[in-house]
Amino acid sequence: MCLALPMRITAIEGSTATIAAEGLEQECSVLLVPEAKVGDYVLVHAGFAISVIDEAEARETLALLREIGELGEAGEDEGADA
Amino acid sequence: MPTLDREALARLADALAREARERRCFMEVCGTHTMVIARYGLRQLLPATLRLVSGPGCPVCVTAMADLDRVVSLARRPEVTLATFGDLVRVPASGTTLAAERARGADVRVVYSPRDALRLAAEQPGREVVFVGIGFETTAPTTAATLLEAEQRGLTNFSLLSLHKTMPAALRALLDLGETPLDGFLLPGHVSVVTGSECYRFLADEYGVGGVVTGFEPQDVLEGLLTLVRQERPAVAIQYRRAVRPEGNRVAQGLLAEVFEPCDADWRGLGVVPGSGLAVRERHAAHDAARRFGLEEAGPSREPAGCRCGEVLRGVLDPVDCGLFGRACTPGHPVGACMVSSEGSCAARYRYRGLQTAGGAA
């Protein structure tokens, strides 16, 4: 439920950011992290960035999530891991 | 290397075996920790002196039957489109589920974000779109922000049913029960992104119990445990420093305070815990589904026969010791909430029941 995925911000318009991870592009709100900039990695939970994190750490987490199949499962589960 | 570092895990396990001389019991209170521990077989890496139990960390699991029944009564209203997260749809209410109600014609939508529910409200001005807000401090700011956006955009057909709960009050209730002698908590990483770590100080100051805000990689969990083992006196620390600051996310805290006020909340397993819920403030009443639909008790709630989820959620019953586990109750045919939610203690234990060690998890 409190799963949050690290994603990189590729664009920001108003309080909405375009974010990318694993070739997927989507939008999230950056209302909760006004300090976020394009290029930053953010933890995204339920469509909102909740924290700006260190880039190296983000890459590590993504690699791990890929290894354990978490990224692939997100779509299967009716969005349950929100 | 940015991969699962089995050597690091082995080193941490060795350190725990060397240093955990006294018998200790630690509890994690986050469904995502439950999943990571089960998936990597981390329990099997711990020395015999350490016991690691799961607590009330899965928001869907701790939602009381009476609240689930109220959600069902909302879904049955013909004018309502009910939007919520996926796990809630399958969890048993009294004699039904939202999935069963949907099959009978209720308009129940699974969404990833509360913003998706707001979009539904904008697209269907003739429908009453109710978002069921469930989750701890990680999720509550996202629904607070969405409610404020609905106000700004004048989307009067959007409302929030807040079943949000807050973690520190639950930990206090659990310690007050005193059923399980606990020596420390692995504290939830993403809840703490929002709350920070200061709100847990009472654990050490009032109860003499340590706590470590812990991340979600297997190394994080073992590091969190090692930090607890190494504490000479109980304290609250942060292992998940890459995402959590002691003061938390002040913007998110501000939104929580603007939209919500503390209320008593009913927890499966713990009962009513004073001040552990988040109710929509009077000034946002127009978007509060509880006020708008005058949600009364839906009638007496019925827990599934033989279900012991309450004890599992308090950490006093190991899932495998429940008579229903793996027999009458499986993820395919769940009896209790802890087997429904993918991060429930029972579901996590069932899914990875064949695993012996982290090596076997690959």
* Per-residue pLDDT, A64: 59
What is the least distance, in Å, from the CA of B325 to any CA of chain A?
Answer: 22
Q: Which residues touch A47 (CB under 8 Å, ≥6 apart)?
A: A27, A28, A29, B112, B113, B114, B115, B116, B142
* Per-residue pLDDT, A79: 36
Residues on chain B touching A64 (C-beta within 8 angstroms): 2-4, 217
Residues on chain A touching B341 (C-beta within 8 angstroms): 1, 80
Query: Which structural domain range is residue A44 located in?
Result: 5-72
Inter-chain contact A1–B60, Cβ cutoff 8 Å? Answer: yes
Q: What share of chain A has pLDDT > 90, as a percent?
A: 48
Q: Does A35 touch chain B (CB under 8 A)?
A: no
* Per-residue pLDDT, A23: 77
Half-sphere exposure of B126 (CA within 13 A, CB side): 1
* Per-residue pLDDT, B198: 96
pLDDT bin (cut points 50, 70, 90) of residue A4 is confident
* Per-residue pLDDT, A62: 64
Cα(A18)–Cα(A10) distance, rounded to whole angstroms? Answer: 6
Give the Cβ contact number of residue B102 at 10 Å: 16
Inter-chain contact B138–A4, Cβ cutoff 8 Å? Answer: yes
The structure tokens listed for B78 are 């013909």
Strand order in the sheet with B107-110: B107-110, B80-84, B128-133, B158-162
The total domain count for chain A is 1
Residues on chain A touching B2 (C-beta within 8 angstroms): 59-60, 62-64
Whether residue B357 has pLDDT greater than 50: no
What's the pTM value of the predicted model, to 2 decimals?
0.90
Q: Is residue A77 domain-resident?
A: no
Whether residue B354 has pLDDT greater than 90: no
Whether residue A40 has pLDDT greater than 80: yes
* Per-residue pLDDT, B267: 95
Task: Give domain B63-166+249-292's CATH number out of 1.10.10.10, 3.30.470.20, 3.40.50.11740, 3.30.450.40.
Answer: 3.40.50.11740
* Per-residue pLDDT, B3: 56
Could you say which of B3, B60, B252 has the minimum Cβ distance to residue A67?
B3
Size of interface A-B (CB pairs under 8 A): 132
- How far is residue B147 from each of residues B23, B123, B249, B270, measured CA to CA in Å? 47, 16, 19, 29
Computed over every residue of chain B, the mean pLDDT equals 93
* Per-residue pLDDT, A59: 67
In this predicted complex, what is the ipTM? 0.90
Q: Does A81 touch chain B (CB under 8 A)?
A: yes
Could you say which of A62, A67, A82 has the minimum Cβ distance to residue B85?
A82
Q: Is residue A81 domain-resident?
A: no
End-to-end CA distance of chain A: 5
Inter-chain contact B242–A57, Cβ cutoff 8 Å? Answer: yes
Inter-chain contact B39–A68, Cβ cutoff 8 Å? Answer: yes
* CATH assignment of the domain containing A50: 2.30.30.140
- How far is residue B132 from each of residues A31, B255, B300, B309, measured CA to CA in Å? 21, 18, 21, 22
Q: What share of chain B has pLDDT > 70, as a percent?
A: 96
Each residue of B237-286: pLDDT tens digit? 999 998 999 999 999 999 999 999 999 999 999 999 999 999 999 999 99
Interface-testing mutation among A2, A31, A32, with chain B (most B C-beta atoms within 10 A)? A2
Whether residue A75 has pLDDT greater than 60: no
Whether residue A1 has pLDDT greater than 70: no
pLDDT bin (cut points 50, 70, 90) of residue A21 is confident
Q: Is residue A80 domain-resident?
A: no
Whether residue B356 has pLDDT greater than 50: no
Strand duo A5-13 + A16-21: pairing = antiparallel
Each residue of B104-133: pLDDT tens digit? 999 999 999 999 999 999 999 999 999 999
Interface-testing mutation among B112, B166, B223, with chain A (most A C-beta atoms within 10 A)? B112
Q: Which of B350, B303, B344 is nearest to B327 (CA)?
A: B350
* Per-residue pLDDT, A55: 74
The mean per-residue pLDDT over the stretch B307-336 comes to 94
Whether residue B59 has pLDDT greater than 70: yes
Place of tokens 């799963």: A3
The mean per-residue pLDDT over the stretch A50-69 comes to 70
The mean per-residue pLDDT over the stretch B55-67 comes to 94
The mean per-residue pLDDT over the stretch B63-90 comes to 95
Q: Is residue A9 domain-resident?
A: yes
Each residue of B338-348: pLDDT tens digit? 999 888 999 99
Residues on chain A touching B87 (C-beta within 8 angstroms): 1, 80
Inter-chain contact B142–A48, Cβ cutoff 8 Å? Answer: yes
Interface-testing mutation among B29, B39, B87, with chain A (most A C-beta atoms within 10 A)? B87
Cα(B85)–Cα(B135) distance, rounded to whole angstroms? Answer: 10
Q: Is residue A33 domain-resident?
A: yes
Inter-chain contact B3–A61, Cβ cutoff 8 Å? Answer: no
In terms of CA atoms, which chain A residue is nearest residue B140? A46
Angle at B121 between CA A80 and CA B297, to 5 degrees: 70
Inter-chain contact B4–A46, Cβ cutoff 8 Å? Answer: no
- How far is residue B259 from each of residues B41, B113, B327, measured CA to CA in Å? 40, 18, 44
What is the least distance, in Å, from the CA of B198 to any CA of chain A?
Answer: 17
Q: Does A63 touch chain B (CB under 8 A)?
A: yes
Whether residue A70 has pLDDT greater than 60: no
The mean per-residue pLDDT over the stretch B73-92 comes to 95
Lowest-confidence pick of A51-65, B37-51, B194-208? A51-65
